[in-house]
Amino acid sequence: MNRRIYLVRHGEIDCGEEKHYIGITDLPLNDKGRAQADRLKAYFSDIKIDKAYTSPLLRCVQTSEIILEGKTIEAIQVDELQEINLGKWEGKSFDYIKDRFPDQYKKRGMNIDCFIPPGGESFKQLQERVMPVFDEIIRSSDGNILIVAHAGVNRVIISKLMSFPLKDIMSLPQPYGCVNILFMDKTRQNWNYDTVL
């Protein structure tokens, strides 16, 4: 069987009732997030993981530690796997940005791949940050690899590998605690993926 790359989104975090822009803000897992990580641990219990990598943000580190409990490896923290930097929008609610900066809010909605929030980065820039390190991780091992990261990071990886338009990445579902399985086709020239959990 060909090797698998398991691209996991961290478990749930507390960020309030309203939707907020949470990128590099460093938040821990909440109780539901820890339960999701326990579910991931059960999922991976019989899967051999040869190498593991994680974003250094606490929610990913906690998720990876729970998944790898009882295994003989630890996740390597990789700075480039941090979530998108939303600059001055970090921690603000969608409604706050929409009310105070309606033009910017609208521009981001129309041009999500290239829009840069003040002091932050675009999804295009995120992809340019993430893909070189992802490629290096893939070259580092012939075995199964676990990567625990974020919705934005996972989406830009899948977008690049599947030649999916970056402007449409929000249509790629990445719920808390999901597992994306990446694998090469039989010719070993094209990537495929499946989302489980």
Express each pLDDT in 46-85 by its tens digit: 999 999 999 999 999 999 999 999 999 999 999 999 999 9
- Residue 109, classified by CB atoms within 10 Å of its CB into exposed (0-12), middle (13-18) or buried (19+), is exposed
pLDDT of res. 7: 99
Q: How confident is the model at residue 14 (pLDDT cuts 50, 70, 90)?
A: very high
Helices 123-139, 151-161: inter-axial angle, 10-degree rounding? 70
The proportion of the chain whose per-residue pLDDT surpasses 70, expressed as a percent, equals 98
Domains parsed from the chain with CATH numbers:
5-196 (3.40.50.1240)
In this predicted model, what pLDDT tens digit does every residue of 96-125 receive, in sequence order?
A: 999 999 999 999 999 999 999 999 999 999
The proportion of the chain whose per-residue pLDDT surpasses 90, expressed as a percent, equals 90
CA distance 94 to 191: 34
pLDDT of res. 1: 53
User: Is it the case that residue 184 has pLDDT exceeding 90?
Assistant: no
* CA distance to 83, 96, 112, 116, 134, per residue, from 107 (Å): 21, 15, 8, 10, 29
Query: Amino acid letter at 32?
Result: K
